[in-house]
Amino acid sequence: MTEIYQKLEKIVSKKFLSNSIYVRHAYSRNVDLVLQGVPDIVIRPKDAKEISEILKVANENNMPVIPRGGGICEFGGSKPIGDGGIVLDMKRMNNIINLDEDNLIVTIEAGISWGKLNEYLCHYGLYTGCMGPGSGMSASVGGGISHHSVGGGGCAKYGACTNQLVSLEVVLPTGEIIETGSQANKFSKYPFNRFGNGPDLAGLFCGDNGIFGVKTKVSLQIFPKPKFADYKTFLMPRKSAETAAQIMTEIRQKGIDVYDAMFIPDVVVAIGSERGMFPLWEGIKRKLGMFFYTIEANSKIELEERVKNLDEIILGKKSEFLGPEIKDGNIAKWHYAEQGHWQFYHNLWGMYPSMQPLSAECFCPISAFPKILQDIDQWDIEHESDMRKIFDITNVRPISGSGPVPLVDGNNVEITAGFVSFWRYYDGEIHDLIKETNIKLWKSLLERVIRHGVQWYMMGDYVSRFMVDIGAYSEEFYNLMTSIKKNLDPNMILSRGKFNFWE
């Protein structure tokens, strides 16, 4: 290990390399509370060339490399699977390379956060469309592309952040550096289009969860922020999930160009209000589901017409408008006008102090999500005895369900489903029973959701392997993915273990 460390030290300065036990343990975790793997070395490269040299050293020594962006993924995506390996921390690569205002394209280093990027763009009256994942203030752009991320805001209008992708610079697992899209033509002076020059190789690295290459440079479409916007929040009637699904379906069928449309389930409203998370809803007697929308427009007439069409749909379903101001309960205004996008998204996860998520986030058709939420409730009832084991130690029962259900591109929604539980370290003691029960429950819930035919995007370590383990992929699909992986990464060093791609 000393020899490998010395080789890496010649690539980056000592300041950006560590094998300290404290640093290594700091990189052994992200948001989830179950998975853990301590790397041997943590390194922060400055550019694609340094990453290329690092990967060559890793191949020579058959050492796994784990790219890490913001490190806030929920399925173990940015830490080792088991101990060992090199964590490639991308945070140093956080610069804006070029803003092309004529062609409305921004080129950035992949380690930049969505929050920093959009803060920069707002000074020019621009934004990225989809504002990245729900954790976007610290989540990296490269990680968002790796996950097909949605959730920060604007995903009903713009879809996942990969929809805005124009080109990528990628370091392949063996160290070669490639560019995609218009930049596949070496005479192209600047990125302007993703499609053409042959197959869409950029798509190979979208949603790959870091197994096919290290993203180093990203070019994205950007958009002028419209001058006019309106935002309203509604209290749903009973059977709120079914009503929200009807509203979202009608929005799509009538072709209304909505920026955000989001359903907040009853359990989140009820328990969140009880826990003081939603002071704006404390005075509401019926703690049922909430629905809100945001509309953008380039003129008042256009805005008024869209609002009128939306209100007819929503009020026609016996929903109750809460009022125009935040103090009236209008969380939609806070979400958009007060930049609440990323502070709000995973509210299911923050209901009790010290509880952490075991997530089951996925995409599904609008029409499917009420049944999936009902089935998660049924799953919870069926696993009462296991929930009780954790309650007996903590006096707090794990909470299952879903956070907000946002409308994404097409007739799809994202379900931010899962459950929250405690770490095995609780009240000064180690409780292995909590860890064992968490893993058992997580596997059970994931399989239950998978069998609804959902589409996973943020897969990381856990879901990528679980899909293979339970035979959810067709043999032909998995064989093709395996062939591509072996071709690009013959030593299986990059994100080793994801999708069960071992040595």
Q: Three-class SS string for 405-451? A: EEEECCCEEEECEEEEECCCEECCEECHHHHHHHHHHHHHHHHHHHC
Are 356 and 250 found together in one domain? no
How far apart are alpha carbons 347 and 328 in whole angstroms?
20
> Residue 428 carries which DSSP code?
T
pLDDT digits (tens, 9 = 90+) for 156-195: 999 999 999 999 999 999 999 999 999 999 999 999 999 9
Tell me the pairing of strands 412-415 and 362-365. antiparallel
Say what percent of the chain tops pLDDT 70. 99
Determine the pLDDT at residue 311. 97
The pLDDT confidence band at residue 345, using thresholds 50, 70 and 90, is low
Checking if the pLDDT of 211 tops 70, the result is yes
Domain-ending residue, one of 304, 329, 344:
344
- Report the SS3 class of residue 422: coil
Tokens describing residue 142: 């490269």
Range of the domain at 145: 96-224
Mean pLDDT of 335-354: 75
Are 207 and 271 found together in one domain? no
Residue 397 makes CB contacts below 8 A (sequence gap 6+) with 387, 388, 390, 391
Q: What are phi and psi of 347, to 5 degrees?
A: -70, -20
Are 357 and 409 found together in one domain? yes
pLDDT digits (tens, 9 = 90+) for 250-270: 999 999 999 999 999 998 898
Helices (H), 218-350: 240-253, 266-274, 300-315, 331-337, 341-344
The pLDDT confidence band at residue 500, using thresholds 50, 70 and 90, is very high
Mean pLDDT of 289-298: 97
Are 237 and 334 found together in one domain? yes
Q: Three-class SS string for 189-201? A: CCCCCCCCCCCCC
Checking if the pLDDT of 31 tops 90, the result is no
Checking if the pLDDT of 374 tops 80, the result is yes
Q: Is 397 in contact with 110 (CB distance < 8 Å)?
A: no
Could you give the C-alpha distances from 481 to 183, 337, 474, 500, in angstroms and in order? 25, 43, 11, 11
Determine the pLDDT at residue 348. 66
Tokens describing residue 479: 């064989």
The pLDDT confidence band at residue 351, using thresholds 50, 70 and 90, is confident
Checking if the pLDDT of 201 tops 80, the result is yes
Residues in the chain: 503
Are 119 and 217 found together in one domain? yes
Determine the pLDDT at residue 346. 63
Number of domains into which the chain is organized: 5
Determine the pLDDT at residue 347. 63
Determine the pLDDT at residue 47. 97
Spell out a b/e string for 443-468, using b for 16 or more CB atoms within 10 Å of the CB, else e: eebbbbbbeeebebbbbbbbbbbbbb
Question: Which CATH number fits the domain that encloses residue 322?
Answer: 3.30.70.3450
Checking if the pLDDT of 273 tops 90, the result is no
- Measured distance between the N- and C-terminal CA atoms of the chain, rounded to whole angstroms: 19
Domain-ending residue, one of 224, 254, 271:
224
pTM for the predicted model, two decimal places:
0.94
Are 35 and 76 found together in one domain? yes
Are 296 and 248 found together in one domain? yes
Checking if the pLDDT of 303 tops 90, the result is yes
Determine the pLDDT at residue 319. 96
Angle at 103 between CA 97 and CA 109, to 5 degrees: 20
The helix or strand, by DSSP H or E, that contains position 121, with its residue range, turns out to be: helix 114-122
Are 364 and 385 found together in one domain? yes
Determine the pLDDT at residue 132. 87
How far apart are alpha carbons 473 and 69 in whole angstroms?
27
Determine the pLDDT at residue 456. 94
